[in-house]
A and B are shown apart, each in its own frame.
Chain A
């Protein structure tokens, strides 16, 4: 049972903002939204996570809707090196035994 829905692929021009959507309409109150990305033939890289407030770090911003049923990952100035598969994952990470389960993600292609 898929907890998240993401577009299969997206394109973005270099230097522009990349906005990656994720639907998680069945999210429960104690579940966090995590974003990872995987560049081809590498291990996944943690990007950001949040519960209900918007979050920002040096890599990206995470905007979570008020009803928490969807979120958007924003890469403010995409570069060619941001081309990767981006995974949106919903988990209850408050406990000690959560597991990251990866869906199919969104392949973001940043074009010159």
Chain B
């Protein structure tokens, strides 16, 4: 199989603090990882694309200084929400694409629910 994990699965933090979310591909190497955000009753919105060893590419309207993405290895990407505010409360989901995939489907993590008080 192709399993993607996220940690933590949920987090509650105070306004102004920073939160780091980890995304790991457990049984495959991922050259590309993606971060999505989903507000209640809405669809997933792509935030950024990260390739191992290079800077992330952010979608229009996503603040790169607020949502720091690091993709230091082929199995790990992290998203840090800096100076979080209540409007950042959301469901954050990562996905990973296999290296040299013949079948280019993406595999998604279970998501991380962030609540900022």
Q: Interface size of B by Cβ–Cβ distance < 8 Å?
A: 21
- Note all chain A residues with C-beta closer than 8 A to B105: 34, 46, 49
Question: Is A99 a contact partner of B49 (Cβ separation < 8 A)?
Answer: yes
Among B49, B91, B104, B107, contact of A41 (Cβ-Cβ < 8 Å): B91
Question: Is A46 a contact partner of B106 (Cβ separation < 8 A)?
Answer: yes
- Note all chain B residues with C-beta closer than 8 A to A43: 4, 6, 93, 95, 108-111
Question: Which of B46, B104, B107 has the most chain A CB atoms inside 10 A of its CB?
Answer: B104
Closest to A91 in B: B104
Known A41-B91, A100-B46, A102-B44: A46·B107 in contact at CB below 8 Å: yes
**Which residues 38-78 of A have a CB within 8 angstroms of B?**
38, 41-46, 49
CB distance from B44 to the nearest CB of A (A): 4
Which A positions have Cβ atoms within 8 angstroms of B?
34, 36, 38, 41-46, 49, 87, 93, 98-105
- Note all chain A residues with C-beta closer than 8 A to B110: 42-43
CB distance from A17 to the nearest CB of B (A): 24
Among A49, A93, A99, contact of B34 (Cβ-Cβ < 8 Å): A99
B54 in the interface (beta carbon within 8 A)? no
Closest to B94 in A: A43
B43 in the interface (beta carbon within 8 A)? yes
**Distance A45 CA – B36 CA, assembled complex (angstroms):** 14
Closest to B49 in A: A99
**Distance A49 CA – B49 CA, assembled complex (angstroms):** 22
Question: Is A102 a contact partner of B111 (Cβ separation < 8 A)?
Answer: no
Question: Is A93 a contact partner of B104 (Cβ separation < 8 A)?
Answer: yes
Sample of 5 further A-B pairs with CB below 8 A, known A43-B4, A102-B36: A43-B6, A43-B111, A46-B106, A98-B104, A99-B34
Question: Is A101 a contact partner of B46 (Cβ separation < 8 A)?
Answer: yes
| 6 residue pairs A–B, Cβ–Cβ below 8 Å | A43-B93, A44-B44, A44-B108, A45-B108, A46-B105, A105-B43
